[in-house]
Every structure is written in C-alpha cells, then in structure tokens.
Amino acid sequence: MRPRFIAIIIAICFLLISCQQQNTQDDFRGLETNDRNGNSTEEINTGEVADLEEVPTQEQDTPPSPEDEKEEEKLDENVKDDIEKETEEDVETELEELDEETPVEFVNIPFTTDEFIGRWNAISDSFTFENYISTFTFTETENDQYYETDLNHSLLRVYVSSPEQAYQIEIIGKGNTDQHRFSMVTSWWQLLLMMNNSLETHEVDMILNDFHIGANADLSNVVTKPLEINNQVFEVVRTDNSYTLKLSFIE
C-alpha cells in the first residue's frame, strides 16, 4: 500500500514538472514572437516615415495683400507714364527734325515752306518792302497747330490740320500807328499777289479797295466781307485791338 502511494505521488510530481516546463517554453515562444512582431512593426513604421519625408510638400499660392496690389498698380502707372512720355518726346523730336531739316510741302499751297519764303522775299526785293521772312517756327496748342514767322510789325501764320495739310493763312497786326498800319496792309497786299501771281498789281489794289481800305492804309472804314479769288477766300477781321487778313482754301 505504501509503495503504491509513493509511486502515485512521484507520478503527480512528474506531471507538475512537465506542465511547468511546457508553460515556460510557451512563454519563451510568446516573447520571441512579440519581439519579432515588434521589430517588423518598427521597420514598417520607419519605412512609412521615410516615404513621407521623401514626398515634397506643395506650397499653396498666397493671395496678394492690398498693399501688394497697390504697389503693382503704382508700378503699372509708372510704366504707362514712361511710355507716354517717351512717345511725346519722339513726336516732338520728329517735329523738330521736320522743322529744321526738311522743307514742308503744303497740300493746299503750291510750294514748300522754303519756296514760300523765297517767293515772299522776292516780292519784298522787287517792291523794296522791309517785311522779309527768315524762317518758320512750328507751334502746336491744344486747339491749333501752325507755322509762324515774324513780319515787320505783324505775324504771319500758316494753319495746318497735319504737318503738311494747310487750310488757312493769317496776317495779324495791331496797327497802332500809321507806320504799323501801312506795314500790315503792305503784307496783306503782298500775300494776295504771291498767292495769285496772275493778278496785276492794280488788281490787288482793287481787292483792297473792296475791303474799304483807304489811302495810306486807312482802316477806319474797313469791313468784313469774304471775297473769293481762284478757289481762295479772303476776309478781313477787325477786333478791339487787332486786324487780321484771313486766307482760306476751298477744297
């Protein structure tokens, strides 16, 4: 009986030892498995981080601030002003070159500015007048553009709608003294003769008489009356302090 009891106890102890060893092995395998899984997870996470670091981040466009927009508008206005200024300077340069170097051929006058000067001065020489022309100066205002020259106590202007298209000639004077009036009327007479070289000198005198210009350049009874001669209209205009002979061209 006792030996059998001892054998049973030994068998139970053996079983307990075996179970303990089995549990120890299972725990060890579990730890090894966790270790392997942990390492794999770490490698995967590391790989994902690496991939994310390699992807460049895209910068989003930032809308311009009001200050930036104002600065751009200011720059655009400056550029526009510079272009307009350069354009105006180019036009002025071209006009100066035209005025100084190239004689202008007027469409409604059958000769150039140089020929105008030459014909005018030739009449002055023939009749010993003192109102010579040396040169023309181009002038442009807000409403008009014209070629101008100083005569003896008068101004002669050739109005143009373009640098070559003449449409009117004016001789303007105040006529404050007898000498000034005589010189001014002489210029009118000279212009009539030059623009109508088929007329005789006495015929030019008759035209002035039609304007009621008396002897010795008397303008006390002068009247405004348009007179057409060879597709040209002549007219005397009187103001409070000046007299003007206008010559307009009929197209």
pLDDT, tens digit, 9 for 90 and up, residues 47-68: 444 444 454 555 555 666 766 6
**Residues 118 and 233 both lie in one domain:** yes
Tell me: pLDDT of 109 over 90.
no
Residue 49 lies in a domain: no
- 18 vs 126: CA distance, rounded Å: 154
Task: Report the share of the chain in percent with pLDDT over 90.
Answer: 29
User: 182 with 173: CB under 8 angstroms?
Assistant: no
- 4 vs 161: CA distance, rounded Å: 146
Pull the structure tokens for residue 59. Answer: 């910068």
Pull the structure tokens for residue 27. Answer: 């725990």
Residue 53 lies in a domain: no
Tell me: pLDDT of 42 over 50.
no
Q: What pLDDT score does 98 carry?
A: 43
Largest CA distance in the chain: 185
Pull the structure tokens for residue 33. Answer: 């498995």
Confidence of residue 78 (pLDDT cuts 50, 70, 90): low
In the structure, how many helices (H) and strands (E) does the chain have?
Answer: 5, 7
How many domains is the chain built from? 2
Q: What pLDDT score does 148 carry?
A: 94
Pull the structure tokens for residue 214. Answer: 């008396």
**Residues 91 and 184 both lie in one domain:** no
**Residues 175 and 95 both lie in one domain:** no
pLDDT tens-digit map of 181-222: 999 999 999 999 999 988 899 999 999 999 999 888 889 899
Average pLDDT, integer, range 5-24:
59
Q: What pLDDT score does 95 carry?
A: 45
> Which parts of 98-144 are beta strand (E)?
137-140
**Residues 204 and 96 both lie in one domain:** no
Q: What pLDDT score does 107 carry?
A: 72
Q: What pLDDT score does 83 carry?
A: 57
Residue 230 lies in a domain: yes
**Residues 163 and 238 both lie in one domain:** yes
> How many CB atoms are located within 10 Å of the residue 236 CB?
22
**Residues 91 and 191 both lie in one domain:** no
Residue 141 lies in a domain: yes
Residue 28 lies in a domain: no
Residue 108 lies in a domain: no
| Higher per-residue confidence, 120 vs 109 | 120
**Residues 99 and 130 both lie in one domain:** no
- 146 vs 154: CA distance, rounded Å: 16
Residue 39 lies in a domain: no
**Residues 143 and 222 both lie in one domain:** yes
- 230 vs 235: CA distance, rounded Å: 14
- 136 vs 158: CA distance, rounded Å: 9
Q: Which long-range contacts (CB under 8 A, 24 or more apart) does 237-241 make?
A: 241/174
Confidence (pTM): 0.58
Q: What pLDDT score does 203 carry?
A: 92
Domain region containing 84: 74-103
User: 213 with 173: CB under 8 angstroms?
Assistant: no
- 156 vs 150: CA distance, rounded Å: 6
Confidence of residue 45 (pLDDT cuts 50, 70, 90): very low
**Residues 79 and 158 both lie in one domain:** no
Q: What pLDDT score does 47 carry?
A: 45
- 229 vs 240: CA distance, rounded Å: 28
Residue 132 CA to its chain's centroid (Å): 39
When the pLDDT of each residue in the chain is averaged and rounded to a whole number, the result is 75
**Residues 235 and 215 both lie in one domain:** yes
Give the residue carrying structure tokens 């303007």.
172
**Residues 96 and 185 both lie in one domain:** no
**Residues 137 and 213 both lie in one domain:** yes
Residue 17 lies in a domain: no
**Residue 143 neighbours by CB under 8 Å, 6+ apart:** none
pLDDT tens-digit map of 137-191: 999 998 899 999 999 889 999 998 876 788 999 999 988 888 899 999 999 999 9
Taken in order 85, 91, 95, 96, is the CA torsion positive or negative? positive
